[in-house]
């Protein structure tokens, strides 16, 4: 057994000294409300939430005065120990989940990606073997459908059974001659998902156009990393998003689009939503929010190649803010990392041919801090919406709710004590990844985890990382997620789930289910040390539309939290600004 950076201990009962934990004086933030409450944890489960709790002697107490107590992050998109494009990712399941925990993420969902012709079950078993003994936090698995045949359909049926616990399958519209499916096979796979009440996921880019553009660019002498984005611009992504939505509609299936990287992609899903009945979920990435495609033009190959992922970062520098706003406005529903790190020597496989640069970047560690900085500190998103997009919505979609994604009685004790005032600079020298490059290098962030509790164990302890290799477990994700297949009313009836006990957030008055800006602002002004409602999923409703200028926004958790313990609450002060009706 390994503790933190490679130190081996044996014979230690890791749980015994820590099975009772009290997080005191913090503000509990869930996706639907905030309240000032203590949280008592025993044997890996949240047992009590409230004030004046009766706590057994010998319980460790963490003082969370001035801090936010949130459900641990769920990263719905990682690639640990993945072999692709002739290389293997640097982060394995130990280092990858260690980095995740360091950043406040307590559950990851990784992708089993079979080779063409390989048994899906065999690939699944390989992944379990790689991960089970190594993970520092819980994990689930999506499975890639990288080829199609009746045997694949049969294996999907097995994989969704209780024995395997898979409820989502990813199909690729890109990576021609590798993982790509044509539209016929894609439609068959989407139909199979719908029949099995699993969730189809797609990588939406037009693989044929990319292949042709790549040939043309190479022939014209464009061989460097800048050719990567040029071979697959926004239109190439937007077209595939639209086509994927049409295919899902024809198959009468819900759809989850992974790593949406552009305004064009968001526009396409919005348009599809307006005409389609089945739910369409859009995931974006920390990379898109935290950086942009200008790096592909960096003269240093290593620097530029380190930013290569697919779909690529966009040269349009207004993309990151547009994507944050789409998340806040519920045009996109969640944020992952697509963590897929490669060492410099592997990125060099593409020196002289950008199409051979292994695709992938870091993000599992910095996902939450980067989004907090870009979305909450700027006033675009409130803390509840932050919890929704980084944790709760993934739990609901992948049927882990409310055991995961919620701070409530009977939920798993995966909890983050978030210090909204903690300042740091992101740097590869300090990060926990196995690579020596970080795409967010040098970014100053305010707000990071101080404590991270994984299944009741304090794994980040006042900033000190104390993860345990193998502490995490595999999570079976049952099909037929009520959030996906149960209709809208199920989304709001999590309180009826047998595991759920309400933390009793006080809701603001609503009109047609949506808090009015006036009601919400008044409510937040009135908030004292009691519970409060949040504006999720329309987190932006706290501000007037048009007040989107990052520089002029004055919503500041860091400042407002100063007086949390003396009745001050998170508050939104409306910045000056004109009206506008939308970005795109």
Q: How far is the CB of 488 from Zn ion (least distance, A)?
A: 28
Q: Where are the alpha helices (DSSP H) in 197-343?
A: 207-219, 226-230, 234-250, 263-275, 286-290, 301-306, 319-328
- d(C-alpha 121, C-alpha 449), whole Å: 37
Among residues 233, 338, 365, 419, the one that binds Zn ion under rule CB under 5 A: 338
Binding of Zn ion by 232 (CB under 5 A) = no
Question: Could you tell me how many residues of this chain bind Zn ion (CB under 5 A)?
Answer: 2
Distance CA 159, CA 178 (A): 22
Task: Indicate which of Zn ion, ligand URP, none lies near residue 359 (CB less than 5 to 8 Å, by partner kind).
Answer: ligand URP
Q: Which is nearer to Zn ion, 359 or 378 (CB)?
A: 359
Taking the complex as a whole, how short is the minimal distance between the CB of residue 235 and Zn ion, in angstroms? 18
Report d(CA 278, CA 270) in Å as an integer: 13
Toward ligand URP, which CB reaches closer, 262 or 556? Answer: 262
Q: Does 98 bind Zn ion (CB under 5 A)?
A: no
Q: Are 102 and 447 in contact (CB under 8 A)?
A: no
Interacting residue with ligand URP among 79, 228, 431, 433 (CB under 6 A): 79
Q: How many residues does the chain have?
A: 584
The answer, yes or no, to whether the previous bond of 311 is cis (omega within 30 of 0) is yes
CA distance 234 to 323: 14
Residue 100 beta carbon to ligand URP: minimum distance, rounded to whole angstroms: 16
> Considering the complex, what minimum distance in angstroms separates the CB of residue 258 from ligand URP?
7
Beta-carbon contacts of 344 under 8 Å, excluding residues fewer than 6 positions away, are 302, 306, 435, 436, 437
For residues 323 and 292, is the Cβ–Cβ distance under 8 A? Answer: no
Strands, E, within 399-530: which ranges? Answer: 415-425, 444-454, 457-461, 464-465, 510-511, 514-515
Which of 33, 290, 293, 360 contacts ligand URP by CB under 6 A? 360
DSSP tag of 506: P
CA distance 372 to 282: 19
- Give me the residue whose beta carbon is nearest to ligand URP: 359
**480 Cβ partners below 8 Å, 6+ apart?**
167, 197, 399, 486
Binders of ligand URP in range 495-514 (CB under 6 A) = none
Query: Hey, is 422 helix, strand or coil?
Result: strand
Decide if residue 365 touches ligand URP (CB under 6 A): no
Which residues between 183 and 212 bind ligand URP (CB under 6 A)?
203
Alpha helices of 311-460 — where are they, by DSSP H?
Answer: 319-328, 344-347, 367-371, 383-387, 393-397
Residues 305-344 that bind ligand URP (CB under 6 A): 309-310, 338, 340
Touching Zn ion, residues 177-216 (CB under 5 A): 203
- Residue 309 partner contact from ligand URP, Zn ion, none using kind-dependent CB cut-offs of 5 to 8 Å: ligand URP
Give me the least distance between CB of 201 and Zn ion, in Å please: 9
Q: 268 vs 306, which CB is nearer to ligand URP?
A: 306
Residue of 43, 55, 51 lying closest to 18 (CA atoms)? 43
- Is 108 near ligand URP (CB under 6 A)? no
Question: Does 540 sit near Zn ion (CB under 5 A)?
Answer: no
Beta bridge partners of residue 339, listed in sequence order: 78, 361
Q: Which is nearer to Zn ion, 67 or 170 (CB)?
A: 170
Binding at 390: pick from ligand URP, Zn ion, none (beta carbon under 5-8 Å per type)? none
Least CB distance to Zn ion at residue 171 (A): 10
Least distance (Å) between residue 341 CB and ligand URP: 10
The least CB distance from residue 191 to ligand URP, in Å, is 22
* Other Cβ atoms closer than 10 A to 497: 16
By C-beta, is 137 or 260 nearer to Zn ion? Answer: 260
Q: Contact letters (x/-) for Zn ion, 129-168, by CB under 5 A?
A: ----------------------------------------
Q: Indicate which of ligand URP, Zn ion, none lies near residue 27 (CB less than 5 to 8 Å, by partner kind).
A: none
Report which of 383, 281, 282 is spatially closest to residue 29, judged by C-alpha positions: 383
Tell me how far, at minimum, the Cβ of 77 lies from Zn ion, in Å.
5
Q: Give the binding-site size for ligand URP (rule: CB under 6 A).
A: 9
Burial (CB count within 10 angstroms: exposed 0-12, middle 13-18, buried 19+), residue 353: middle
Smallest gap from residue 339 Cβ to ligand URP (A)? 9
Q: Which spans of this chain sit near ligand URP (rule: CB under 6 A)?
A: 79, 203, 259, 309-310, 338, 340, 359-360
* Contact positions vs Zn ion (CB under 5 A): 203, 338
């Amino acid at each position: 057994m390994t503790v933190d950076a490679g130190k081996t201990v044996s014979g230690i009962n890791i749980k015994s000294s820590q099975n009772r934990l009290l997080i005191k004086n913090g503000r509990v933030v869930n996706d639907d409300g905030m309240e000032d409450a203590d949280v008592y944890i025993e044997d890996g489960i949240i047992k009590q939430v409230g004030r004046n709790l009766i706590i057994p002697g010998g319980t460790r107490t963490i003082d969370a005065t001035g801090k936010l107590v949130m459900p641990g992050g769920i990263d719905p998109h990682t690639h640990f120990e993945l072999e692709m494009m002739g290389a293997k990712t640097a982060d394995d399941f130990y280092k990858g989940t260690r980095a995740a925990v360091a950043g406040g993420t307590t559950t990851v969902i990784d992708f089993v990606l079979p080779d063409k012709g390989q048994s899906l079950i065999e690939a699944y078993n390989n992944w379990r073997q790689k991960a089970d003994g190594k993970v520092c936090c819980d994990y689930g698995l999506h499975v890639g459908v990288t080829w199609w045949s009746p045997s694949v359909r049969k294996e999907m049926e097995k994989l969704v059974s209780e024995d395997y616990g898979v409820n989502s399958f990813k199909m690729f519209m890109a990576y021609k001659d590798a993982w790509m499916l044509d539209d016929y096979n894609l439609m068959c796979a989407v139909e199979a998902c719908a029949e099995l009440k699993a969730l189809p996921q797609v990588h939406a880019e037009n693989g044929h156009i990319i292949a042709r553009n790549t040939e043309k660019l190479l022939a014209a002498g464009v061989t460097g990393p800048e050719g990567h984005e040029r071979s697959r611009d926004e239109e190439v992504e937007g077209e595939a998003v639209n086509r994927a939505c049409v295919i899902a509609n024809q198959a009468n299936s819900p759809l989850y689009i992974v790593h949406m990287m552009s305004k064009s992609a968001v526009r396409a899903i919005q348009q599809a939503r307006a005409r389609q009945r089945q739910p369409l979920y859009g995931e974006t990435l920390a990379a898109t929010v935290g950086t942009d495609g200008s790096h592909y033009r960096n003269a240093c190959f290593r620097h530029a190649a380190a930013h290569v992922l697919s779909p690529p970062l966009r040269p349009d520098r207004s993309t990151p803010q547009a994507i944050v706003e789409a998340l806040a406005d519920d045009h996109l529903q969640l944020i992952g990392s697509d963590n897929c790190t490669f060492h410099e020597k592997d990125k060099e496989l593409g020196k002289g041919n950008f199409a051979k640069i292994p695709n992938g970047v870091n993000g599992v560690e910095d996902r939450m801090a980067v989004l907090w900085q870009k979305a909450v500190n700027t006033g675009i998103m409130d803390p509840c919406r932050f919890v929704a997009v980084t944790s709760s919505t993934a739990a609901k979609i992948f049927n882990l709710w409310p055991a995961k994604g919620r701070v409530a009685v009977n939920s798993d004790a995966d909890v983050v004590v978030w210090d909204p005032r903690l300042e740091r600079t992101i740097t590869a020298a300090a990060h926990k990844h196995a690579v020596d490059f970080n795409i967010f290098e040098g970014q100053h962030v305010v707000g990071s985890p101080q404590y991270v509790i994984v299944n009741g164990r304090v794994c980040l302890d006042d900033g000190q990382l104390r993860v345990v290799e193998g502490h995490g477990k595999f999570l079976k994700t049952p099909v037929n997620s009520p959030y996906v297949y149960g209709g809208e009313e199920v989304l709001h009836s999590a309180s009826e789930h047998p595991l759920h006990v309400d933390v009793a957030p006080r809701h603001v008055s609503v009109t047609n289910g949506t808090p009015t800006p006036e009601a919400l602002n008044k409510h937040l002004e009135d908030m004292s040390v009691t519970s409060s409602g949040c504006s999720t999923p329309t987190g932006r409703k706290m501000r007037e539309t048009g007040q989107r200028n990052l520089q002029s926004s004055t919503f500041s958790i860091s400042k407002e939290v100063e007086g949390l313990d003396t009745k001050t609450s998170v508050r939104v002060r409306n910045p000056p600004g004109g009206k506008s009706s939308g970005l795109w």
